[in-house]
Amino acid sequence: MAVLAAPVVAAVLLLTWAAYGEAQYVLYKDATKPVEARVTDLLARMTLAEKIGQMTQIERQVASPQVLKDYFIGSLLSGGGSVPRKQATAAEWVSMVSDFQKGSLSTRLGIPMIYGIDAVHGHNNVYGATIFPHNVALGATRQAALLSPRFAKLLPFFTNREIRFCLMFLSRDPNLVKRIGAATALEVRATGIQYAFAPCIAVCRDPRWGRCYESYSEDHRIVQAMTELIPGLQGDVPANFTSGMPYVAGKNNVAACAKHFVGDGGTQNGVNEDNTIIDRRGLMTIHMPAYLNALQKGVSTVMISYSSWNGIKMHANHDLVTRYLKDRLNFKGFTISDWEGIDRITTPAGSNYSYSVQAGVLAGIDMIMVPNNYQSFISILTSHVNNGIIPMSRIDDAVTRILRVKFTMGLFENPMPDSSMADQLGKKEHRDLAREAVRKSLVLLKNGKTSDKPMLPLSKKAPKILVAGSHADNLGYQCGGWTIEWQGDTGRITVGMTILDAVKAAVDPSTTVVFAENPDADFVKNGGFSYAIVVVGEHPYTETKGDSLNLTIPDPGPSTVATVCGAAQCATVLISGRPVVVQPFLGAMDALVAAWLPGTEGQGVTDVLFGDYGFTGKLPRTWFKSVDQLPMNYGDAHYDPLFPLGFGLTTQPRTY
């Protein structure tokens, strides 16, 4: 055997190492390369099984690291109330997400999964998180400086109707919503999660709908303004941003989701998941505008609605999902189904799952929230592709969009949770922000039996006061649905301050506070109370379970109001996700406050009741006299409300 000289051996080794280095270089793993080049490179390397895995989102309860590895699962989610354990810490969430992610990263191509959760008013599934007011409340908030001097000079040139609308619309506080989005993103990231199914940008046109509190307003212009939650969650898009592209600023932000596309707030009689009967112009002028704003702000994903438009299920609507949203509006992020959304294409749901998979994917849905029976979904979709029922081009489009979002948000560079962010969960600054949101969202509907004798603000130095009502000392009722459990719950379900707690903290130490949930008249009359605060309202609900044709306050709320307000001067605080029937009791009340579903920070209510701050909130919805008037929205020919859209009395802070 010939012996090579040392220089020759060195040269051969160098060439071998160089070739080995080139073989190891993978473009899609190179963070210096453009996102589109990385997507193209990775897509070309993927098998059909790997592509379909990316399109599959499954519930954490049916997942394991091995399942993610074996089926190349692209996404996980927590449904409402789906947690590692009750009262799990941020560290426990991080550990769970990390284990799942390791399963994804151990696949041949190492594509990280994205974890989604319904963080719709704060990180509401997670014990100890800050729970912000629901969207209907945020739609009532008002900016501190309503009119600039320049705008005020123009008022003489407007009609009264135009002035009225300007006051209603310009008074909203989208910057507050943006700050809430940023705080929510930090709390979501504190648990290792990177994707929030928010915001809901439905335009609720009928308060009988069980999801009405998830809507900012009946008016699309207010909803449009509140899409500022998106840059709060995702970060501000850069200059010269192309509308429709997905954008997430960094690892302190999360991917957002505009939902539910489109028309979910316009169903007949407010029936959840039902049919929205409206012509195309009406759909485009009422329900679609906020999606244009969402795309301009770089929303990464769009969730499709359970509802139908003129009899066509949105989950099967190729015209709106593909031709309009993707092609005309140039949306380049990914669309996602709702929970078992494709199952409900058929009636009854799931009766022809093979057809449902075909119809949903061909309509243009990219990621399917399965969420449990993933083996069946993967098998059927694979068969449809192999049999030419669904073209590979449709699969490639879906996977391209999913990968684009993952690359854009830096998931390949930072796939693992950051355990150092645990202190963001429920931090004081976020609770202070939630308290600010509560006090800005309260709407004062009545103040005094006569206009010249207002009851509010209340005195902190009254000798003895009564606090009554089913909602006065119930944090679960105060937070509403989508809190810890899917349907919400009752009692001390998480960390927070009830309104009773807040009253006790606010009054003078010499004041005696007596709590009686449902007192009798003699107790009230003989109690020597300076005044009473009565807190009543709706019980928690979500989605279809919240649909209501009567919109009445549950018992014993009405009787508590009648008893207490008939025997003492009373201020009623109403906890509800929407306007409810109040006209029969209005005369008995000295003051009425619409507090919506304020969340964990009850001190925001007492901040305004006792005059540390003035009332500034304005109704984001029309308050009806009778349910027989519904649906009734601002501008309708039959508009005859108890309180119109934009109504809200104001008070000045009390000087102590």
Q: How many CB atoms lie within 10 A of CB 575?
A: 29
| DSSP sequence for 30-65 | -TTS-HHHHHHHHHHH--HHHHHHHTEEEEGGG--H
Q: 522 catalytic, yes or no?
A: no
Residue 285 per-residue DSSP state: I
Rounded to whole angstroms, how far apart are CA atoms 73 and 95?
A: 19
631: region left, alpha or beta (phi > 0 left; psi from -120 to 50 alpha):
beta
Q: Which of 50, 173, 218, 543 is catalytic?
A: 543
Give the dihedral of Cα atoms 270, 274, 280, 282; nearest 10 deg. Answer: 0
Give yes or no for a contact between 573 and 608, defined as CB atoms under 8 angstroms apart: no
Q: Assign 344 to helix, strand or coil.
A: helix
Q: Which of the residues 338, 436, 473, 590 is marked catalytic?
A: 338
Token look-up 């135009």 returns 162
User: Using H for helix, E for strand and C for coil, what is the string for 461-529?
Assistant: CCCEEEEECCCCCCHHHHHCCCECECCCCCCCCCCCECHHHHHHHHCCCCCEEEEECCCCHHHHHCCCC
Residue (of 475, 335, 348, 508) closest to 405 by Cα position: 335
- Chain length of the chain: 656
- Residue by residue, DSSP assigns 215-261 as SS-SSHHHHHHGGGHHHHHH-PPPTTPPTT-----STTS-B-EEEEE
How far apart are alpha carbons 573 and 139 in whole angstroms? 18
Query: 601 catalytic, yes or no?
Result: no
Backbone angles phi and psi of 483, in degrees to 5: -140, 110
DSSP state of 347: S
Under DSSP, the state recorded for 84 is: S
Instruction: Supply angle C-alpha 643, 646, 649, rounded to 5.
Output: 70
- For residue 69 the two structure tokens come to 């590895």
Integer Cα distance of 566 and 449 in angstroms: 13
Type and span of the H or E element at 585? helix 583-586
* CA 162 – CA 148 distance, rounded (Å): 17
Distance, CA of 615 to CA of 192 (rounded, Å): 38
Residue 656 corresponds to which amino acid? Y
List 534's β-bridge partners, or say none: 468, 572
Are 226 and 178 spatial neighbours (Cβ–Cβ below 8 Å)? no
10: enclosing H helix or E strand: helix 6-24
Residues with Cβ within 8 Å of residue 104, at least 6 apart in sequence: 68, 69, 73, 110, 111, 112, 113, 415
DSSP one-letter code for 328: I
Q: Quickly count: other Cβ atoms within 10 Å of residue 637's Cβ.
A: 5
Q: Examine residue 371 and say whether the peptide bond preceding it is cis (omega within 30 degrees of 0).
A: yes
Give the catalytic positions in this structure: 338, 543
